[in-house]
């Protein structure tokens, strides 16, 4: 079943996908590809495969086509294991990136490999950062990293980005000259730095919201996220009016959705978003949240129990049974 979107949301996310795809394609065809500096993730892997096939067996396959082919199995994985909305717009961005790479000419603006590395990484990061800010991605490693992180809750997705990008850099250095691998590292550093400026590098965020519509907001958050939260009675410093402060921890991929939800319930709410370095205690993954949602609607299957674990399953079973009795 396809995720439901309002017309305005569909237009906004489609525009973001077009912008992100264009910037990624622009960075490759004007800077990275002419300089033999490799892009991040699947785009870089497609570059490397295209170069090896051309130099090794004289077979020319366009980078755009390879990006599309490599992303097909990843899109299937994301659709079933990560999230339909996230994967749908990520794959749309991939399709558009492939299209722009085919349309835009490969035309170097500079012969300086260092300048190409810096500006290629910077422009690509603008596209990736804008996409992440609105709850989508440019495909590839984003989806793989999220999937792997969910199966190893003690590791950050940044670790998997580092490993997967490292493989591409090492192969590029071994097959071609090591200077290209080193310039690729410079490009990746610039890329990561700019993405962090646009979007948060932290995997977990603490959201503190002061609102006078706490009951509606709590109900909406629990319905859409199943995030636990602390409710602190409070009051306005100037007005003295009664308020409630809600404090919760979310993943950065939930940030855009959370912002929209808070604004829709209480446009006048004051929200402070803090970077969270470490969590001690329970923090449910998106997969576990879906299992909790299933229990809310009366599903008590073995898969739900395995996802939550025996203790959480029993705890939520009692909670929902008690709520039903009330």
CATH class name, domain 201-282:
alpha beta
CA angle, residues 143, 41, 120, in degrees to nearest 5: 130
Q: Say whether 135 sits in a helix, a strand or coil.
A: coil
Residue 60: the pLDDT is: 85
- Residue-wise pLDDT for 137-163, tens only, equals 777 777 776 676 666 655 555 566 667
pLDDT tier, 321 (very low <50, low <70, confident <90, very high otherwise): confident
Please tell me the least confidently modeled range out of 109-118, 165-174, 285-294. Answer: 285-294
- The two tokens of residue 168 are 């591409």
Closest by Cα among 169, 172, 140 to 157: 140
How does the average pLDDT of the chain come out, rounded? Answer: 81
- Residue-wise pLDDT for 46-99, tens only, equals 888 898 888 888 888 889 899 999 889 888 887 877 777 778 888 889 999 999
Separation in Å, CA 157 to CA 40, 146, 152, 166:
14, 6, 10, 14
Proportion of the chain in helix, strand, coil states, percent, rounded to 5: 65, 10, 25
Q: What span, in angstroms and rounded, lies between the C-alpha atoms of 35 and 214?
A: 55
CA angle, residues 32, 33, 39, in degrees to nearest 5: 50
Residue 280: the pLDDT is: 64
Residue 2: the pLDDT is: 47
Q: Does pLDDT of 3 surpass 60?
A: no
pLDDT tier, 107 (very low <50, low <70, confident <90, very high otherwise): confident
- The two tokens of residue 138 are 């440019």
Cβ pair 48, 113 in contact under 8 A: no
Q: Does pLDDT of 208 surpass 90?
A: yes
Residue 81: the pLDDT is: 74
pLDDT tier, 1 (very low <50, low <70, confident <90, very high otherwise): very low
Residue 322: the pLDDT is: 66
The H or E element containing residue 231 is strand 230-235
Percent of the chain's residues with pLDDT above 90: 20
Please tell me the least confidently modeled range out of 21-25, 129-133, 276-280. Answer: 276-280
Report, as an integer, the average pLDDT of 112-127.
91
């Amino acid at each position: 079943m396809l995720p439901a979107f309002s017309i305005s949301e569909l237009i906004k996310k489609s525009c973001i996908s077009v912008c992100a795809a264009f910037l990624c394609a622009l960075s490759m065809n004007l800077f990275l590809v002419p300089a033999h500096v490799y892009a991040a993730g699947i785009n870089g892997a497609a570059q490397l495969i295209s170069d090896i096939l051309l130099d090794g067996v004289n077979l020319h396959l366009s980078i755009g086509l390879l990006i599309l082919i490599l992303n097909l199995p990843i899109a299937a994985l994301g659709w079933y294991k990560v999230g339909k909305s996230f994967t749908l717009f990520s794959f749309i961005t991939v399709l558009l990136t492939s299209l722009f790479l085919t349309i835009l000419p490969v035309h170097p603006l500079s012969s300086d490999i260092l300048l190409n590395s810096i500006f290629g990484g910077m422009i690509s990061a603008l596209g990736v950062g804008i996409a992440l800010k609105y709850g989508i991605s440019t495909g590839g490693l984003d989806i793989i990293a999220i999937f792997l992180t969910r199966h190893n809750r003690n590791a950050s997705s940044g670790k998997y980005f580092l490993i997967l990008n490292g493989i591409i850099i090492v192969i590029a250095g071994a097959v071609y000259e090591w200077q290209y691998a080193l310039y690729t590292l410079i490009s990746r550093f610039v890329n990561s730095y700019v993405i962090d400026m646009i979007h948060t590098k932290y995997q977990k965020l603490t959201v503190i919201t002061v609102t006078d519509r706490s009951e509606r907001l709590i109900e909406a958050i629990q319905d859409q996220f199943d995030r636990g939260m602390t409710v602190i009675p409070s009051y306005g410093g100037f007005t003295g009016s009664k308020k409630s402060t809600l404090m919760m921890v979310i993943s950065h991929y939930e940030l855009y959705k959370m912002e929209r939800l808070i604004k829709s319930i209480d446009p006048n709410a004051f929200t402070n978003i803090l970077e969270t370095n470490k969590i001690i205690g329970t923090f449910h993954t998106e997969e576990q949240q879906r299992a909790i949602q299933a229990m809310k609607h009366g599903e008590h299957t073995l898969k739900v129990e395995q996802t939550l674990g025996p203790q959480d399953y029993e705890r939520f079973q009692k909670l929902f049974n008690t709520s039903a009795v009330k």
